[in-house]
C-alpha cells in the first residue's frame, strides 16, 4: 500500500511583516480554532474540559493557559488555542458535553496589528468605535472590515488580533498595508 504524505498547512502570510514607527502588521502565531455552540444548560459542564468558565457577557473574552474563549453570541464562542497540537484532546474532552464543537483551524487565520496608529488604521475599514472606552482590552466583536466579516479582539491598548477566513486574508492584508502607508 502506498504511503500518503500530507502537506503541512502554512499560514497565508508566513514570514510577511510590515512595520514603521507607528504600526506593525504580522501573521499571528499558528493556533487551533474551535467554533463552540452550547445552550445555557451546558455552560457549567463546559468549565471542566476548558479549565475555566466561558465568558457570558457580550463582547468579552477569557484566556487561561494558552486557551482563549471569545464571546460571539448568546450561545456561540470562538476558542483559540496557542498550541495547534492540543486541538484533538480538547475536542475529545468537549465531546463529553452536549454542545457543538467544530474544528475551524483550516478555515481561519489571524493577523496581529499593533502600535500607536493601530486604531486609526483599523478604522480606515471598520465602522466600529474602537476608542478605549467603547472597545477596551479583552473586548471582541464580529464586525466588518471593508467588504469582509472579521472577528476583532483587542489584546491591549495598542494591539489587536483579527480573525479572518483564510480566503479573505490577502484582501485584509493588502487593505491594512494600504491604510498603514499614512501612519507614522
Distance from C-alpha of 74 to C-alpha of 40, rounded to nearest angstrom = 8
pLDDT at 16: 78
pLDDT at 173: 96
Question: Rg for the chain (alpha carbons), in Å?
Answer: 17
Under DSSP, the state recorded for 156 is E
CA-based nearest residue to 181, from 119, 134, 117, 127: 117
Domains of the chain: 18-180 (3.30.1360.120)
pLDDT tens for residues 73-106?
999 999 999 887 788 888 888 888 888 888 999 8
Distance from C-alpha of 6 to C-alpha of 109, rounded to nearest angstrom = 20
Across the chain, mean pLDDT equals 90
Give the pTM.
Answer: 0.90
DSSP 3-state assignment of 80? Answer: strand
Length of the chain counted residue by residue: 184
pLDDT average, residue stretch 114-136: 96
> What is the band of 2 on the pLDDT scale with cuts at 50, 70, 90?
low
> What is the band of 5 on the pLDDT scale with cuts at 50, 70, 90?
low
Pairing of strands 108-114, 159-165: antiparallel
pLDDT at 156: 98
Q: Are 154 and 138 contacting, i.e. CB atoms less than 8 angstroms apart?
A: yes
Distance from C-alpha of 147 to C-alpha of 100, rounded to nearest angstrom = 28
Under DSSP, the state recorded for 19 is E
pLDDT tens for residues 103-118?
999 899 999 999 999 9
pLDDT average, residue stretch 152-158: 98
pLDDT tens for residues 9-54?
666 767 778 889 899 999 999 899 999 999 888 888 898 888 899 9
pLDDT tops 60 at residue 163:
yes
Amino acid at each position: 500500500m502506498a504511503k500518503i504524505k500530507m502537506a503541512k498547512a502554512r499560514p497565508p502570510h508566513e514570514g510577511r511583516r510590515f512595520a514603521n514607527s507607528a504600526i506593525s502588521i504580522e501573521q499571528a502565531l499558528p493556533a487551533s480554532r474551535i467554533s463552540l455552540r452550547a445552550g445555557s444548560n451546558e455552560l457549567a459542564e463546559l468549565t471542566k474540559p476548558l479549565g475555566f468558565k466561558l465568558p457570558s457577557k457580550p463582547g468579552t473574552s477569557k484566556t487561561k493557559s494558552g486557551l482563549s474563549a471569545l464571546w460571539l453570541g448568546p450561545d456561540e464562542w470562538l476558542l483559540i488555542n496557542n498550541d495547534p497540537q492540543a486541538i484533538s484532546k480538547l475536542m475529545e474532552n468537549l465531546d463529553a458535553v452536549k454542545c457543538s464543537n467544530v474544528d475551524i483551524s483550516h478555515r481561519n487565520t489571524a493577523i496581529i496589528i499593533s502600535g500607536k496608529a493601530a486604531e486609526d488604521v483599523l478604522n480606515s475599514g471598520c465602522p466600529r468605535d474602537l476608542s478605549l472606552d467603547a472597545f477596551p482590552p479583552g473586548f471582541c466583536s464580529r464586525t466588518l472590515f471593508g467588504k469582509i466579516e472579521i472577528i476583532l479582539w483587542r489584546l491591549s491598548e495598542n494591539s489587536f488580533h483579527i480573525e479572518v477566513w483564510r480566503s479573505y486574508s490577502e484582501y485584509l492584508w493588502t487593505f491594512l498595508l494600504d491604510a498603514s502607508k499614512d501612519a507614522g
